[in-house]
């Protein structure tokens, strides 16, 4: 086996295992840490796909930003450590059955479709062409996404403001 394939299987096993912990862990804090690990390994998958800029973006935004936010959310909304450990959930079999059905459908599509399979050539660094694409072809979407982000952040800080009780 070549190196890329070995790296892929190791990364994939780690991603699936830690995503499984994130889904089925009893403690929500453990789930958040498992999600952290899963997203971190996904950056490795991006690197395997020659998406260097995205790999770094994944680490900086997901792992450094969203997960810290998530942990703040967890720690701000738990009354006690006891509740944190015994977060209840619906019976396993409902979620597992639905997820299994969806997975079966996806696998069916995966096997029955013939996907394009050329690749294998080395890509140059993607950062410069991505920047050109974002600021020329997709500049409108880019600016709108920055406005969306601004609106979302202002909205979030408005939502969590301390309300004046009269």
Partner 1 sequence: MLTLYHFLLLSAIVFALGIAAVVSRKNAVGVLIGIELILNAANINFVAFSRFTEHPKLIAGLAQPAALEGQVFAIFVIILAACEAAIALAIIINLFNTFGSIEIDEAQTMRG
User: How far is 154 from 152, CA to CA, in rounded Å?
Assistant: 6
Minimum distance from residue 66 beta carbon to partner 1 (Å): 5
Q: Which is nearer to partner 1, 81 or 148 (CB)?
A: 148
Place of tokens 């403690």: 27
Minimum distance from residue 156 beta carbon to partner 1 (Å): 4
Minimum distance from residue 137 beta carbon to partner 1 (Å): 8
Q: 84 vs 22, 67, 96, CA distance in Å?
A: 15, 17, 23
Q: Which is nearer to partner 1, 81 or 102 (CB)?
A: 102
Q: Which is nearer to partner 1, 159 or 166 (CB)?
A: 159
Q: What is the Rg, in whole angstroms, of the alpha carbon atoms belonging to the chain?
A: 21
Residue 141: Cβ within 10 Å count: 10
User: How far is 2 from 160, CA to CA, in rounded Å?
Assistant: 51
Minimum distance from residue 71 beta carbon to partner 1 (Å): 9
């Amino acid at each position: 086996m070549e190196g890329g394939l070995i790296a892929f299987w190791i990364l994939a096993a780690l991603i699936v295992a830690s995503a499984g912990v994130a889904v089925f862990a009893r403690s929500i804090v453990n789930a958040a840490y498992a999600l952290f690990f899963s997203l971190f390994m996904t950056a490795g998958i991006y690197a395997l796909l020659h998406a260097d800029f995205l790999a770094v973006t994944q680490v900086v935004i997901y792992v450094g930003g969203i997960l810290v936010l998530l942990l703040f959310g967890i720690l701000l909304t738990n009354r006690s450590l006891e509740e944190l450990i015994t977060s209840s959930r619906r019976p396993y079999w409902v979620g597992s059955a639905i997820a299994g059905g969806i997975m079966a459908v996806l696998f069916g599509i995966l096997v029955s479709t013939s996907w394009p399979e050329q690749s294998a050539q080395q890509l140059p660094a993607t950062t410069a062409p991505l920047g050109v694409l974002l600021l020329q072809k997709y500049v409108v979407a880019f600016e709108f996404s920055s406005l969306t982000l601004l609106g979302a952040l202002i909205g979030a800080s408005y939502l969590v403001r301390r309300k004046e009780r009269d």
